[in-house]
Amino acid sequence: MQTAFEDITSEKHGFSVDELLTPLALAVIIDNKVRDPEMCEFKNQAEGLLDMLEYQGNITPFTIMDWYSENEFKIQSAVRGRKKNTFILKALTRFSNNLPLIEAIYDSMLAISISDKEYHVDESDLIKSAASLWGYVRPPFKIMPR
């Protein structure tokens, strides 16, 4: 089966599109509620991240959504399974020596997580984990339920 980004490469970075977009997709999926604002923000952040890293190929909101559709079940299964923490740790630790990339991914995850204006414990824990692994102080935000 051909994936949405099979032909996309980066001359500057050795990370696959799957490695780059999985942390962003985690920010959408982790709370078990995929909302329109999160999906819109996911598309925007993914497109910006891939553009920033100079990935070549057919990067459009449609190919990004195709990637999400192709990977959603796998990521959902992983975060609901026994090895949830291992999956998240692997997704977040791939970039440990690349500070500009870490900053971009962290900012993207944060933007996605607050886009629906709802606080969710698992989403907050994901952001805390990323901040801790990447050496950031967690920003003082909390979205209160409506």
- DSSP per-residue string spanning 48-60: HHHHHTT-BS--S
* Widest CA span in the chain: 45
* SS3 at position 9: strand
**At 22, is the pLDDT very low, low, confident or very high (cuts 50, 70, 90)?**
very high
Share of the chain above pLDDT 90, in %: 54
Residue 34: predicted pLDDT: 72
Residue 141: predicted pLDDT: 54
Residue 2: predicted pLDDT: 44
**At 139, is the pLDDT very low, low, confident or very high (cuts 50, 70, 90)?**
low
Residue 82: predicted pLDDT: 92
Residue 9's φ and ψ, nearest 5 degrees, are -135, 165
For the cut 70, the answer to whether the pLDDT of residue 40 exceeds it is yes
Rounded CA-CA distance 134/102 in Å is 7
Of 65, 60, 75, which is closest to residue 27 (Cα–Cα)?
Answer: 75
Mean pLDDT to the nearest integer, 107-113 = 94
Residue 142: predicted pLDDT: 52
For the cut 70, the answer to whether the pLDDT of residue 13 exceeds it is no
Rounded CA-CA distance 135/142 in Å is 20
Residue 113's φ and ψ, nearest 5 degrees, are -65, -30
**Residues 75 and 146 sit within 8 Å (Cβ to Cβ):** no
Rounded CA-CA distance 64/58 in Å is 9
For the cut 80, the answer to whether the pLDDT of residue 104 exceeds it is yes
Mean pLDDT to the nearest integer, 15-42 = 91
Residue 19: predicted pLDDT: 93
Residue the block writes with tokens 């990447």: 134
Residue 1: predicted pLDDT: 39
Rounded CA-CA distance 5/83 in Å is 27
- Per-residue pLDDT tens digits for 61-98: 999 999 999 999 999 999 999 999 999 999 999 887 78
3-state helix, strand, coil in the chain (%, to 5): 60, 0, 35
